[in-house]
Amino acid sequence: MRLALVQFPAGPDTLDNATRACEEVRKAAAQGASVVVFPEATSQAFDSGPLSASAEPLCEEVIHRPDGSAVSPQGEESASPFSTALREVALELGVTVVAGMFRPADAGRVFNTVLVTGPKVHLGYDKIHLFDTATYRESDTVAPGSQLVMFQVGEVNVGVATCFDIRFPDHFIKLAQRDASIVLVPTSWADGPGKRDQWRVLTRARALDAGVFIIAVDQPRPGGEAMAGRKSGPTGIGHSVVVAPDGRVVAESGWEPELLIVDIDPTEAATRRKNLPLF
């Protein structure tokens, strides 16, 4: 399976982000990727304005016109511009696109959602474990999800998590117990002292816990390597990574925006769990 990890620098404008994301999908598809994974908050960067202002429902379908082009049921002025744009390009190119966005929830809050869309899938995973700490409460603006999500690419079972979920082993173990071979983790991981080390340890630990491939895709570090190690807020540290079920780092990005193309053999997950009965 060929995957594309798009270390994408989201901005404040949803339409601009959608346009640039679609360009990256085309680049990835041209290199043979069947699954294209973007970070958390691809539709709107954190700290760039109220998330509720850009929150949108998942588009429900795409209508194909006689000339071969596609349009949402609402027409060109879709109520779901981000998810519609990504769904259209995914269907056009025959790939599965995975990207972070926001959906309306309750009392002005949003769901922190991972859109999964392609020829045979269209769904969203709402982040379950919210980043509530001594200094920040994501739950003030984001409502928690409650359901694990899996989908298939061909015969391969793929699970979904988001950012802070990476600290909760049970999330990944439960997906593996449902026969996931891969878990995708769109992320916007803040920089700061020790944060890159934490990211690297946690992604490898979850692969080892569950015997799955971890495909963790982060936003790049604002300012690049020159700003590395300084506190950045929830805007990215780069270092998107593919970790094999035995904990090997297959590939890792740097600090800057990057399109990383990686080939994996998903059957390694079943072999790993057969040889080492984890559950």
Instruction: Show which residues are catalytic.
Output: 40, 127, 163
Helix axes 14-30, 81-93, angle to 10 degrees: 10
- Token digits for 250? 């297959």
CA distance linking residue 36 with residue 262, whole number of Å: 11
Closest CA to 156 of 218, 243, 96: 96
CA distance linking residue 205 with residue 207, whole number of Å: 5
CA distance linking residue 223 with residue 7, whole number of Å: 14
- Token digits for 127? 């982040």
Bridge partner list, 259: 6
Element of type H or E holding 28: helix 14-30
Q: What is the 3-state secondary structure (H, E, C) of 187-249?
A: ECCCCCCCHHHHHHHHHHHHHHHHCCEEEEEECCCCCHHHHCCCCCCCCCCCCCEEECCCCCE
Cα→Cα distances 239→6, 195, 222, Å = 11, 11, 13
Sign of CA dihedral 95, 203, 160, 101: negative
